[in-house]
A and B are shown apart, each in its own frame.
Chain A
Amino acid sequence: MKKPVIDAKGVDLTFQTNDGPVHALKNVNLEINKGDFVSFIGPSGCGKTTFLRCIAGLETPTGGTLTVNGLTPEEARKSRAYGYVFQAAGLYPWRTIRGNIQLPLEIMGFPKSEWKGHIDRVLDLVDLRGFGKKFPWQLSGGMQQRASIARALAFDADILLMDEPFGALDEIVRDKLNEELLKLWAATQKTIGFVTHSIPEAVYLSTKIVVMSPRPGRITDVIESTLPPDRPLDIRDSEEFIKIAHRVREGLRAGHDA
């Protein structure tokens, strides 16, 4: 049997705050296999971002075991196992788009001769060819977020972790980027963890939808998508899509009532 890329068993995380302990994650069990596109959906405070940060080794669980590529998240982070996309593009304004994508290559010590190849490849992937010499503040929000995805892809990590990457964008841009993200995923075969609070976005993108609920943050449902891998935008009007969206909504409501 294949080993899962990300394996969480009974993960617990309690933050100590001034108002007493906050139970952010409780008994989270989840397996993510290679090539999966997994969405985490739930209301604010359900721990979806916290769980993604645990996978990234940016937070440390207080209980349970969590492995990434068979390593601890900390080791996986140090071996640069994943690219991370934040809600804001967070590009450095003093670097051009090319310079921003080059940043992880510089830090990780890629040989200089390889930089151009990496940058050209990911600029093509996110459809930003020709914008490499622009500065971030000369581009629209959607283009900036595409550049930040390119930056996360530049160093060829197998895992891509995305924390509400399109949350700040308008719906039309978001649709377009969702469509492009699916193409990119198909082209690169990456394992993707994707945090969102949009039901249509989660259903449209994912092979697996993880529904979470707050206080304490926990998983209430895991839905394996039955949609085909090839998904045009209008698949969102299909019966199959609506059925899955309905189940997600049920899961969210059940978590809310509990």
Chain B
Amino acid sequence: MTRSDTRAEQVLWPLGFGLLVLVLWEVGVRLFGVSPAILPPPSAILAAILSSGPTLWEDWVQTVVKGALNGLWMGTLAALILAVIIDRFVFLKRGLLPVANFFAALPIVGLAPIMVMWFGFDWQSKAAVVAVMVFFPMLVNILGGLAAVDMMQRDLMRTYAASHTQTLLKLRGPAALPFLFNGLKIATSLALIGAIVAEYFGSPIRGMGFRISTEMGRLATDMVWAEIVVSAVTGTALYGIVSAIEKRVTFWHPSQRG
């Protein structure tokens, strides 16, 4: 007999396993005398987090809020606008989409130094890298969503003599939302990676990527791990927020009715 886990069990199981991993990590590092430069124990990482709160906060604001989130909305908005335009004109779908495909194949991180040249050392260049990174998965997902409406639904709109804009707003837009959220889930993790890595190629003296690369140079691995923990928590939280919004907005979709 199977029964689904209660709310408490859903939280407690992973929490228990997580703690077990941390304990084994701590014990292992101490037992085998692993050098902190190779792997610091969780207690040292926790100590670093607690003692460098203001630094971590400053880095977080610089990288996540200014770099990643700004890039995310810019890239998403650009993808949304271009998707609606491409969808409207067939010749664009034929001509522009292959070009977009080509740009998607570019090693985006390689663009980071160029973006620094264009937009300076501060967060603007990081946001630009993120925007380019999230642009393509968003574009593909939104276009896929707009095409997802079946023939019968389009015919229904034709029997109402609905205009292109009406069909877009009342039928194809809402139908594309589940696809948009799929893209957004991919894009949030890409945005975080992009914002951190872009800082390796030049940044002001704050930011998570900057901290990771400089602290690594000083073999202060506890601080590197502290930044990694912060970024992992941030990534999970962003994903959770997107999922929560998705659940509210696309409550009608079979995958959300559950």
Whether chain B is bound by chain A comes out as yes
A137 CB-CB contact with B under 8 Å: yes
Secondary structure call for the B interface: helix
The number of residues on chain B lying at the interface, defined by a beta carbon within 8 Å of a beta carbon of chain A, is 19
Secondary structure call for the A interface: loop
Q: Is the CB of B161 within 8 A of A84?
A: no
B174 CB-CB contact with A under 8 Å: yes
B30 CB-CB contact with A under 8 Å: no
Q: Is the CB of B155 within 8 A of A103?
A: no
Per-residue CB contact flags for chain A residues 208-225 toward chain B (1 = under 8 Å, else 0) read: 000000000000000000
**B250 contacts which chain A residues (CB < 8 A)?**
94
A56 CB-CB contact with B under 8 Å: yes
Q: Is the CB of A77 within 8 A of B252?
A: no
B170 CB-CB contact with A under 8 Å: yes
**A87 contacts which chain B residues (CB < 8 A)?**
152
**A77 contacts which chain B residues (CB < 8 A)?**
158-159, 161
Q: Is the CB of A58 within 8 A of B170?
A: no
Residue of A at shortest CB range from B156? A90
A86 CB-CB contact with B under 8 Å: yes
Q: Separation in Å of the A139 CB from the closest CB of chain B?
A: 13
Residue of B at shortest CB range from A76? B161
Tell me the bound Cα distance from A57 to B158 in angstroms. 9
A90-149 residues at the B interface, CB under 8 angstroms: 90, 92-94, 103-104, 106-108, 135, 137
Interface residues of A (CB under 8 A from B): 56-58, 77-80, 82-84, 86-88, 90, 92-94, 103-104, 106-108, 135, 137
Q: 6 smallest A-B Cβ distances: which pairs?
A: A93-B252, A84-B159, A94-B252, A78-B161, A107-B160, A107-B162
Interface residues of B (CB under 8 A from A): 152-153, 155-162, 166, 170-171, 174, 250, 252-254, 257
